[in-house]
Amino acid sequence: MAELTSIKNIGPAFAASLKAVGITTAEELRALGADAAYAKMLEGGTRPHFIGYYVLHMALQGRPWNDCKGEEKKALRKQFDQIKAGSFDQDRSELERILNQIGVVPTVRE
């Protein structure tokens, strides 16, 4: 199994964020895909940041992190906003976030 940092653009800090939510190898990350991995990070408490999201996409495509431009970047921004809306609740307390991770409270507030 390959280290997460074996993927171009995935440094130690990003790898630590992925490992914190149970994504521990490059193979797991590739199998999960950028959208699902990023949603998992948000559900785990990572604060949303568009650049981190598109860097993850570029990394899984083997492209430089700053290669995302124009219409592709606009499309990724729309995807990011959808993932953020469904996976991140800034009003949720740390305790609620942890309870959500173990399935005690719902992901989206009603």
Lowest mean pLDDT among 10-14, 21-25, 80-84, 97-101: 97-101
Task: Walk me through the domains of the chain, giving residue ranges and CATH numbers.
Answer: 4-101 (1.10.150.20)
Mean pLDDT of the chain: 85
In angstroms, rounded to a whole number, what is the distance separating the alpha carbons of residues 100 and 107? 6
The pLDDT score that the predictor gives to residue 109 is 44
Question: With bands split at pLDDT 50, 70 and 90, how would you rate the model's confidence at 90?
Answer: low
Tens of pLDDT, residues 38-69: 999 988 888 889 999 999 999 999 999 889 89
State pTM to two decimals: 0.76
The pLDDT of residue 110 is above 60: no
